[in-house]
Amino acid sequence: MVHDLVAARAAELRQLEAARARTPLQLAWRQLRRYKLALISGVALAVIYVIMLFAEFVAPYGLDFTDRRLFYAPPAGVHLIDAQGRWHARPFVYAYRLVDPGLRLYGPDTSRTYDLHFFARGSRYRLLGFVPADVHLMEVDAPARLFVFGSDQFGRDLLSRMLYGSRVSLLIGIIVVLITFPIGLVLGGIAGFYGGIIDNVIMRSVEVLAAFPTFYLLLTLATVLPATLSSAARLFMIAAVFSLVGWGGLARIIRGLVLSIRELEFVLAARASGLSDLRVIIRHILPSTTSYVIVAATLTIPGVILGESGLSYLGIGVQEPSTSWGLLLAQAQSVEVFTQFPWLLLPGLAIVLVILFYNFLGDGVRDALDPRQRST
Amino acid sequence: MFRYILRRLILLGPLLVGITFVSWAAIQLAKGSGDYFQALVLQYPQISPATIEGLRARFGMDQPPWIQYLRWLWRIVHLDFGLSFSYQVPVTWLIGSRALNTLLLSISSLVVAWAIAIPLGIYSAVHQYSVTDGLLSAGAFMAISIPSFFSALLLLYAAFWTHLLPLQGLTSVNYDLLSPLGKLLDVGWHLVLPTIALGVFSVGGLMRYMRTNLLDVLRADYVKTARAKGVPERRVILRHAVRNAINPLVTLFGFELGGLLSGAAFVENILGYPGLGRLILEALLRKDIFVVMGSLLLGSVLLILGNLIADILLAYVDPRIRYE
């Protein structure tokens, strides 16, 4: 008995100690650190999206630029010190030299250095799609090439193509959210608001959709797309396929939220003042789900990016000549190729990074907006 | 419990009809870009139109769509999924073994993922805010962010240079010559790479769930009581806390299975693993529609059964849950 009491007291003290170890200040610091991670991720994403917008300016070469002599060239090192140990004021590269024609091994030709020219004039393009320009961030004089991430089997610059491909990879998530969320919100709202037969019909369709392994359905629907579509139309069709498959999960959760919001007094007041049902749903009920929706949106985007790169990787998403990170990674499909030329895996790394940033951001946003779901 | 299972099984009927309808509708859309026979004519222009018509009639493709659907449905009820166009064999022959392989891969990944994630999650929660906890959480975030096709590629890269593991397929060339034990080992050996590639993704998510749940439970009164009674800390955690923290993970099981089936489709295609995901892609590219529909249907059935098993399991591990 006494022993029990002593043990209880000891446990209590332990608890107190444990509580003291986490003072409010420490908790706040921890929260801040979490937000910091989310904040850094948010800033990183913003930078990536800006680079995406100015891809033509940042990319050293155009989308269809090829150097047939230099296929599978390794990443070119940008140097400051030359082979003789002298420092240069400007960063420079060496031209490639074919060391072994059989294995297609290249080495640097150290006999001459080629300076990097910043903001130099190069191929013409339209900035943001309408401003004619010909200034590029970095250029080198031929015959040297600025293949910072190496080149592919046609001698195309991987970095430039990754920059152009980022358009598809980064935008598809946002497009899908813009299509899916209105559908999911309205259908979920209607199902929760009316109940009865409408609810039944909508929810049973959601169940049927949820019963498929998502990717099987995506695969099947993506092969439907005719090969003759323009690349922009194809991107939108792929986004439509994702939306067709993805609206169900959101609708189900919105329905659950609406079921409880529907009973609140302000909804009753809105209905009593004679507003139409749709107006009550859209203007009064759905705004209460905003914090959930924002969190869901930040966490949906990385999922879609993943799905698109998967489809393109398997060759049924985005098609040449347009490109995306998944399609670029598809060049690494055979073991013999990517073990010899490992830089072809870099687009995969880009995918991982962007998804990681989105996950961190989503986690932080959830903590900030939805304390009930806060992870400890 | 028995009544609950029965009710679920009865409700399965309409759900299955819905699934067959969606599969069919997706395929009807796919025909917009030309069906198998049109592709055949493009490839071999010398085939006479009469032969094509004969083939169409043989597969019942000359009927209006809704009759085709009803016929297909009628055959499915008799467990006949139709004929494959390109292999000219019953679809059941093709998808049966493929589905088993996919199931084998998914389950082994699931087991590996749980075996790794649960202990790590417990460790992370018990040592909350420690350096190890931070590293594990960072690792979990990394794992969640790696697409399964990329992890498969990276593993393939590692396996190629280390020569430790077989790169492709499920069996060695000399598989048929091996003893039964040798066969088992051979398959197990080939399973290592795809299992890791597929499992990495699940480990991250499961670990984070386990950590969060356990932290919630550790704050509960009964944990305090157990500690106050003088129960050793180890026992408090393993017997009192973990036992309760693990329940929500069981619900996740069904959800996991869906993700694994989808992820397996990539891993199978990259690692040349003879599974359902690879079959469906091949069949889609060949427009072999009965194989596609069969695979879609079978994939969904696997998923539904997985969810059902998860619900039953949940009732089993958590006596507070009553399905009545």
Q: Cβ of A336: how many Cβ atoms within 10 Å?
A: 8
Angle at B136 between CA B133 and CA B141, to 5 degrees: 125
Structure tokens at B163: 């020569």
pLDDT at A5 > cutoff 60: no
How many Å apart are CA B164 and CA B59, to the nearest integer? 47
Split at pLDDT 50, 70, 90, the class of A182 is: very high
Q: Which of B21-35, B130-144, B145-159, B275-289 has the lowest mean pLDDT?
A: B21-35
Nearest CA distance, A358 vs chain B (angstrom): 9
pLDDT at B216: 85
Given A102, A128, A149, the domain boundary residue is A149
Q: Which domain holds residue A92?
A: 70-149
pLDDT, one tens digit per residue, over B220-229 is 888 889 999 9
pLDDT at A1 > cutoff 50: no
Q: Which residues of A touch B302 (CB under 8 A)?
A: 213
Q: Which residues of B touch A213 (CB under 8 A)?
A: 258, 261-262, 265, 299-300, 302-303
Identify whether the C-beta of residue A165 lies closer than 8 Å to the C-beta of residue A347: yes
pLDDT at A352: 93
pLDDT at A179: 93
Residue corresponding to tokens 């085709």: B68
Angle at B247 between CA B242 and CA B248, to 5 degrees: 115
- Do residues A111 and A169 share a domain? no
3-state secondary structure of A127: strand
Q: Are residues B149 and A212, on separate chains, in Cβ contact within 8 Å? A: no
Q: Is residue A117 part of a domain?
A: yes
Q: Cβ of B49: how many Cβ atoms within 10 Å?
A: 8
- Read off the pLDDT of each residue in A112-135 and give the average, rounded to a whole number: 79
Q: Is residue A346 part of a domain?
A: yes
A residues 82-121 closer than 8 Å to B (CB): none
Q: Are residues B153 and A332, on separate chains, in Cβ contact within 8 Å? A: yes
H/E run at residue A96 = strand A87-100
- Read off the pLDDT of each residue in A183-192 and give the average, rounded to a whole number: 92
Q: Cβ of A171: how many Cβ atoms within 10 Å?
A: 17
pLDDT at A177: 93
- Read off the pLDDT of each residue in B273-299 and give the average, rounded to a whole number: 85
CATH of the domain at A310: 1.10.3720.10
Report ipTM (2 d.p.).
0.82
Q: Cβ of A67: how many Cβ atoms within 10 Å?
A: 18
DSSP string covering A247-261: HHHHHHHHHHHHHHH
Q: Which of A27-41, A312-326, B240-254 has the lowest mean pLDDT?
A: A27-41
- Do residues A184 and A325 share a domain? yes
Q: Is residue A354 part of a domain?
A: yes
pLDDT at B56 > cutoff 80: no
- Read off the pLDDT of each residue in A281-292 and give the average, rounded to a whole number: 87
Q: Are residues B14 and A204, on separate chains, in Cβ contact within 8 Å? A: yes
A/B interface, count of CB pairs below 8 Å: 154
DSSP string covering B239-265: IIIHHHHTHHHHHHHHHHHHHHHHHHH
Q: Using alpha carbons, select from B111, B115, B50, B52 the residue that is nearest to residue B257.
A: B111
Q: Is residue A53 part of a domain?
A: no
- Do residues A142 and A194 share a domain? no
pLDDT, one tens digit per residue, over A222-276 is 877 777 778 788 888 889 888 988 888 889 889 988 888 888 899 889 989 988 8
pLDDT at A142 > cutoff 90: no
pLDDT at B178: 77
Q: Which of A148-162, A314-328, B102-116, B162-176 has the lowest mean pLDDT?
A: B162-176
* Beta-carbon contacts of residue B152 (< 8 Å; ≥ 6 apart): B193, B194, B197, B198, B266, B267, B270, B271
- Do residues A276 and A333 share a domain? yes
DSSP letter for B237, please. Answer: I
| A31 at B interface, C-beta within 8 A | no
- Do residues A129 and A200 share a domain? no
Split at pLDDT 50, 70, 90, the class of B324 is: low
DSSP letter for A288, please. Answer: G
Split at pLDDT 50, 70, 90, the class of B30 is: low
Q: Are residues B216 and A376, on separate chains, in Cβ contact within 8 Å? A: yes
Percent of chain B residues past pLDDT 90, beyond the cut: 5
H/E run at residue A6 = helix A2-21
Give the number of domains in chain A.
2
Q: Is residue A199 part of a domain?
A: yes
- Read off the pLDDT of each residue in B172-188 and give the average, rounded to a whole number: 79
Split at pLDDT 50, 70, 90, the class of A176 is: very high
- Do residues A84 and A185 share a domain? no
Split at pLDDT 50, 70, 90, the class of A108 is: confident
pLDDT, one tens digit per residue, over A32-60 is 666 788 889 999 999 999 999 988 888 88
Mean pLDDT of chain B: 83
pLDDT, one tens digit per residue, over B79-128 is 778 778 778 788 888 888 888 888 899 889 989 999 999 999 999 998 88
Given A149, A173, A206, the domain boundary residue is A149
Residue A142 one-letter amino acid: A
Q: Which residues of B touch A316 (CB under 8 A)?
A: 284
Given A97, A126, A149, the domain boundary residue is A149
pLDDT at A372 > cutoff 50: yes
Global confidence as pTM: 0.84
Nearest CA distance, B47 vs chain A (angstrom): 24
Identify whether the C-beta of residue B94 lies closer than 8 Å to the C-beta of residue B279: yes
- Read off the pLDDT of each residue in B297-322 and give the average, rounded to a whole number: 80
A213 vs A370, more confident = A213
Q: Are residues A227 and B33, on separate chains, in Cβ contact within 8 Å? A: yes
B residues 136-195 closer than 8 Å to A (CB): 141-142, 144-147, 149-150, 153-154, 156-157, 160-161, 167
Split at pLDDT 50, 70, 90, the class of B1 is: confident
- Do residues A256 and A320 share a domain? yes
pLDDT at A376: 44
- Chain B residue with the nearest C-alpha to that of A374: B212
Q: What do you get for the CA distance between the two ends of chain A, in Å?
A: 36
Q: Are residues B212 and A219, on separate chains, in Cβ contact within 8 Å? A: no
A25 vs B75, more confident = B75
Split at pLDDT 50, 70, 90, the class of B322 is: low
Q: Which residues of A touch B304 (CB under 8 A)?
A: 211
Q: Are residues B228 and A11, on separate chains, in Cβ contact within 8 Å? A: yes
Q: Which residues of B touch A223 (CB under 8 A)?
A: 30, 33, 284-285
- Do residues A144 and A200 share a domain? no
Give the residues across from A125 on adjacent strands. A133
- Do residues A183 and A238 share a domain? yes
- Read off the pLDDT of each residue in A79-107 and give the average, rounded to a whole number: 79
Q: Is residue A220 part of a domain?
A: yes
- Do residues A371 and A223 share a domain? yes
B residues 235-274 closer than 8 Å to A (CB): 258, 261-263, 265-266, 269-270
Q: Are residues A212 and B29, on separate chains, in Cβ contact within 8 Å? A: no
* Beta-carbon contacts of residue B75 (< 8 Å; ≥ 6 apart): B81, B82
Q: Is residue A342 part of a domain?
A: yes
Q: Is residue A37 part of a domain?
A: no
- Do residues A103 and A184 share a domain? no
Q: Which residues of A touch B18 (CB under 8 A)?
A: 204-205, 207-208, 211
B243 vs A122, more confident = B243
Structure tokens at A158: 């991987």
Q: In this complex, which of B23, B153, B304 lies closest to A345 when CB atoms are compared?
A: B153
At residue A110, φ and ψ (nearest 5 deg) are -80, 5
- Do residues A178 and A111 share a domain? no
